[in-house]
Structure 1
Amino acid sequence: MASSTCTAPPPTVRGVHHFEIIGYRLIKGLSPGEYVRSGAFVVGGYRWSVRFYPGGFSPPHRAHVSAFLKITTNSARAWARFDLRLLDRATGLSRSVHRAAAPVVFDYSAAHKKCKGKRGARAFMPRAELEASPYLRGDRLTIECVVDVVVAAGEAVAPPPRRLRAPPPDLSKHLGDLLDQQDLADIAFHVGGEVFRAHKVVLATRSPVFMAELYGGMKEKGMERIAIDDVQPLVFGALIRFVYTDVLVLPGDLEGDDYKEMVRHLLEAADRYGVERLKLVCESILCRSLDGNTVETTLALADQHYCKALKDVCVQFMSLGL
């Protein structure tokens, strides 16, 4: 007599989280083992986060980017399927890159947190393939994580933690919207044939030079237009955007020497207007992108604009004969 068995899949609770990485260029130089992580999200009563290693999980994987899903609820042990995907923001479609078709254990107990607290792929995708793909647009990358947590029969799903958490800061978003809308703009900069409208109070708050020009002894009565002749429009636009949002946004089609040259000009503008955080961001980028063809130029730039950390890196680079 023939027989067969049908086993129903275990009941699960699904959650989807989008981890958006803005400013990929700023993190692509991280060393193997260094990562950025998403905010915490709750599925099936457990807290989770996504970890992304732009320099690879370890030195043997430095040619790849790595990605993992990690359970972050203390002393928790859960079974879950997961799918790490890349989202094409232009089409809204996502592609599965690494998935666990069957449930696997996530164990955050003291004995297992190193080996079973996170699951994913050390060779998630070759870095060169990712950077040439449609999933990296405008220096932004979105990882979509789909999690199916297994719920035992008759088990009630634990509710999310009741503790209220403050939402992520959104001041930079609102100021960025203000810059884009320009409804209350009260100053116009004429730069290389282009006009940049802005708000005096925002500029003065973020830059001591703008404060002096717009409200101090350097102020011209009734001044509403300022002509700037020695800064490229692309550079000035990136400077103003950073002043409002604290985020460096550069054109996505800049590559190689053109990208480095843009960063050098931006460092000069940041020093000129006293935007110290932008100056440090530019220093960091140039430190990570030194080569034999540009080190002397970069050293001269660092010396001229008092960038001690960048100068030290250039000197060390030259002393090692790299």
Structure 2
Amino acid sequence: MANNSTSSVNTSISESSSRCLTECVTTAHNFEVIRFSKLEGMGAGKFISSSTFSVSGYDWNIRVYPDEWKEEDKAAHLSVFLCFCSGATGVKVEYTLSLLEKDGRISQIASIPNTFWTVGGYWGRDKFIEKSKLKELLSRNGDCFTIRCVLTVMKEPRTEDLGTVIVPVPQSDMHTHFASMLKDGEGVDVTFSVGGQLFNAHRCVLAARSSVFKAVLFGKMKETTMKSIEIDDMEPAIFEALLHFIYTDSLSCDVDQIVALQHLFVAADRYGMDRLKAICEGKLCQRIDVQTVAITLTLAEQHDAVHLKNACLRFLSSQGVLRAVKETDGFKHLTTSCPSIMMDILDKVAPPS
């Protein structure tokens, strides 16, 4: 005879949770009505409206009907409505319409939920307050009152997984780490001699940021095996600014004067750093003046900077500017180094025939 036995097996049950959230955005708008007695008699269905106010991407205004909304009510009440001016239809709202006296005391209030299905639709209270009661209020408030609308827009509900933890992520500070690495000099493996001043750097960082540096430091040039590389046609301050941008992707605060920007612009083009070149070009476009425009135009022509060239030509086409620019040393240099640019200047300055 078989022996039947019952055994229980413990099994784990996985469990998860979620929740539904309905976000709400609330704002308030005050619509002050002054000298209300002058508005009475404008007729049933005629209204005044507040300025448009926005809540969560939806536009609204408040309508006040001094002689009521419907003619059959014989102007016995003040009518107040909220009007949906623009936005996605089907928006669900809750709002209150309150009548405030001068001291801020609420004399009348209506709380209203509604879903607006059409733009231009309005909803409120046609018998908001009796005229007899309103006249008493106006007599003690200088013939004025305020309609206050507190409006809450309910967004579409969304479901979130409670197992998901939202962790705030700090802003990237990678640039500060690279700047510190350059300043501290840890791990540097190449030195540049610029105008008698030495600058230490990291070959890999330079090569990653500039194809020209990559060719110099890892290509077949002799500099690949040199510990020190000499640069004799650049100011130390400009090379320092170049290194600062390579490590931080931002301009040094020392590069603010137009001459320094011109030199850094040339250096950026020389080392194939298009982003730095574009930043310098944009700043130079904003710093054009009589004394520097000729040199800047020369650089724009030599380094294929179309936006900067056009900005310079526009400046030269201003009335009386060219005459003053022709007296500068920069213009003399421009005519000898880029004679072809003179035709562009004439085309821009000469009046159309």
Q: TM-score, normalised by structure 2?
A: 0.44
* Bigger radius of gyration: 2
